[in-house]
Amino acid sequence: MKNYFSLFLIVFTFSCKNKNENTIIERNIEIEKIFESIITQESLNNLKNASAAIPTSEELKKLKVHILASNIEKIPPKPIDGIYINDLFYYNLDVIFISKKDSLDLMNQNLILKSYRINNSFSKKLKLTTFKEQKILSKNNRDTDFLQLSIPIFSSDNNKAYVEINEICFGNCGWGKAIYLEKRNGKWTIVYKHQLWVG
């Protein structure tokens, strides 16, 4: 009996590991598609050949999913490093986005894919930078104005995603935007967006 249990445990662990690896590979492919969709649909001025192109960070920012305590009286401000899970369930206050059944998967995404660097054929057309390069420019009193997107947070079925995009300039300027996307007919489409902050 003990041997059967050990065998079951090994098979279960191995299958979970394979499932996680397959999910990461699938989501990596979708990240590249989401990145291109946002750049195109938002008409961001970051193509290499555009005049006064704004560089885009090739490193995507990690967003952490946070849980709100059920007994709080007043909703606290949005966490700097992420989003409250409730904000993934709905957008525009009452439109259902990601199902509450996805809660466990949403929280699990805090543990996987902690960093991501864009590297596809579309990104070669963009004026790219890194956070480190922009920080050095800022210290040398040079203009530092760049875009940074977050690693998408996915629904369990990989058909919905949440992304944040920020324009950072290391001063009293910039903006941040929340973007909700849905995969329709195989293409990622922005279904809702709203301003998070303006500097």
Number of domains in the chain: 1
Q: What is the pLDDT of residue 57?
A: 93
Instruction: Answer whether 55's CB lies under 8 Å from 46's CB.
Output: yes
pTM score, two decimals? 0.85
Q: What is the pLDDT of residue 137?
A: 82
- Residues 97 and 95: their CA atoms lie apart, in Å, by 6
Instruction: Answer whether 150's CB lies under 8 Å from 113's CB.
Output: no
- Residues 159 and 169: their CA atoms lie apart, in Å, by 33
> What pLDDT, in 10s, does the model give residues 48-67?
777 778 889 999 999 999 99
Q: What is the pLDDT of residue 169?
A: 82
- Show the domain range for 41: 2-198
- Residues 95 and 107: their CA atoms lie apart, in Å, by 21
Under the banding of pLDDT at 50, 70 and 90, the label for residue 11 is very low
